[in-house]
Amino acid sequence: MGRHRKRRAAPRLSRRIALLSAGLLIPCTGGAAVLAATTHLDEHAAPSARSRAASRPDAAITEVPGTRSRPPGAHPAPTVSRTTAAPEPSASATPASDVPFAPYADVLTWPPLDFAKTAARTGVKDYTLGFVAAGDGCTATWGGLTPLGDAVVRKQIKKVPGDTIVSLGGPRATELAHACTDVDELTTAYRSVLTTTGTEQVDFYLTDTALADDAAARRRAEALARLSHDRPGLRVSFTLPLHRTGLTADALGTLRTATAAGVDVSIVDLLPSETTGSAVQAAATAAHGQLQRLYHQDADTVWRRMGVAPVIGVTGTGAGFQPDDARQIRTWATSRHLGRLSMWSITRDTPCTTDTTAQNDTCSGLDEDAGVFSRILQGS
């Protein structure tokens, strides 16, 4: 157990997943292939270089969507009130001693995910579904390609046995706030996502490049503030890249902008570039200190509004994130009462077969039992 399984096209797969780990997460949407990593390493090294972000396409961090981002701008730094209210427990909330688990799932994976069978095998009921992105203009679609109301996807979502969090953006997608230049149109697009998917929980998966677009951050914040006023039960979370030293200035600026607009960010989910349990903990602890200073809240409250979403399995030429790392993260997250645990992704939580290639990256690269990461991270 825990050994690498030899596979064809290993160099290509390892290199792509390594790039994924170096930048963010990975996810995307597409056909038979479900992810990989193709992010710009220079952006990971200098995520705040806005001039470069404004002059190039966004950092693609993985495989299969087929969308792209368009940044530029400069973050304002609105003042955060010292009376920021603590968020209520998430919709998938459980007792404070437990940590909700909602792994990522790509709704465009082919063949479609069977949530009922997955739940029977792993016990997982709650999911973070991605990715809603801009299609033609300010139109909300799945992965920039598939209509939001696609019958197959809607039928699939209805089969999720627990709570559904819909994630917007993604590693290679264009989040709606970047494509919609009118706040009224953006608000309408976000509302269509909630209505069509039947959820009141939305997540914004933003890459380092997407975070550099200040104008988009302001439009997003204003649109979410309007929706929050109309829908008091709306839960908003941000999934942000976690670097060794914590969150970037752009990531913190995006959170400031949202908070200043009156958006209650319930969870800040962290996408670690590190691949070991101890390194992830160290980076998340650094981010915790940053969020305490941002929100002016006590340590326990800030832990409860944080989450961690590691990339499971082989993420480079080495061993990557192993089951022992998952156990370490689960124990640590429980002791801190984190608000959420996730992972990329539910389809990677299975051993690879001998015919796995870079075009079918739907396995962990480890000789572990199927569902092992899911069972560990949800504490079962």
pLDDT digits (tens, 9 = 90+) for 169-200: 998 889 999 999 999 999 999 999 999 999 99
Q: Are 315 and 275 in contact (CB under 8 A)?
A: yes
Question: How far is residue 96's CA from residue 336's CA, in Å, rounded to a whole number?
Answer: 10
Say yes or no to pLDDT of 81 above 50: no
Angle made by CA atoms 62, 224, 288, in degrees to the nearest 5: 65
Higher pLDDT, 362 or 73: 362
Angle between helices 183-197 and 214-230 (to 10 degrees): 60
DSSP secondary structure string for all residues of 244-270 = TTB--HHHHHHHHHHHHTT--EEEEEE
Q: Where are the domains of the chain?
A: 12-75+91-377
Angle between helices 323-336 and 277-295 (to 10 degrees): 30
Angle made by CA atoms 287, 288, 291, in degrees to the nearest 5: 85
**Both tokens assigned to 322:** 């192993």
What pLDDT score was predicted for residue 239?
Answer: 98
pLDDT digits (tens, 9 = 90+) for 327-371: 999 999 999 999 999 999 999 999 987 666 544 568 898 888 999
pLDDT digits (tens, 9 = 90+) for 254-310: 999 999 999 999 999 999 999 899 999 999 999 999 999 999 999 999 999 999 999
Question: How far is residue 337's CA from residue 100's CA, in Å, rounded to a whole number?
Answer: 10
Q: Which residues contact 188 (CB under 8 A, 6 or more apart)?
A: none
**Both tokens assigned to 110:** 């082919």
Question: How far is residue 194's CA from residue 289's CA, in Å, rounded to a whole number?
Answer: 33
Question: How far is residue 246's CA from residue 283's CA, in Å, rounded to a whole number?
Answer: 5
Angstrom CA distances, 306 to 36, 237, 288, stand at: 26, 9, 8
64: left (phi over 0), alpha (psi -120 to 50) or beta: left
Q: How far apart are the first and last CA of the chain?
A: 19
Say yes or no to pLDDT of 60 above 60: no
Closest CA to 114 of 376, 346, 289: 346
**Both tokens assigned to 298:** 């006590």
Q: Are 2 and 350 in contact (CB under 8 A)?
A: no
Angle between helices 183-197 and 151-158 (to 10 degrees): 60
Question: How far is residue 243's CA from residue 235's CA, in Å, rounded to a whole number?
Answer: 25
Choose from 37-46, 88-97, 112-121 the range with maximum mean pLDDT: 112-121
Pairing relationship of beta strands 201-205 and 164-169 according to DSSP bridges: parallel
**Span 59-87, mean pLDDT?**
35
Question: How far is residue 14's CA from residue 5's CA, in Å, rounded to a whole number?
Answer: 12
What pLDDT score was predicted for residue 357?
Answer: 54
Say yes or no to pLDDT of 9 above 80: no
Angle made by CA atoms 64, 175, 194, in degrees to the nearest 5: 100
Closest CA to 64 of 92, 41, 35: 35
Question: How far is residue 134's CA from residue 184's CA, in Å, rounded to a whole number?
Answer: 15
The band of 49, judged by pLDDT with boundaries at 50, 70 and 90, is very low
What pLDDT score was predicted for residue 41?
Answer: 28
Q: Are 347 and 36 in contact (CB under 8 A)?
A: no
pLDDT digits (tens, 9 = 90+) for 112-154: 889 988 998 899 999 999 999 999 999 999 999 999 999 999 9
Q: Has domain 12-75+91-377 been given CATH number 3.40.50.720?
A: no
Question: How far is residue 73's CA from residue 327's CA, in Å, rounded to a whole number?
Answer: 40
Percentage above 70 pLDDT, the chain: 71
Average pLDDT of the chain, as a whole number: 79
Say yes or no to pLDDT of 85 above 80: no
What pLDDT score was predicted for residue 327?
Answer: 98
Say yes or no to pLDDT of 56 above 70: no
What pLDDT score was predicted for residue 53?
Answer: 35
Q: Which of 52-61, 98-107, 161-170, 282-291 is predicted with the least confidence, judged by mean pLDDT?
A: 52-61
Percentage above 90 pLDDT, the chain: 63
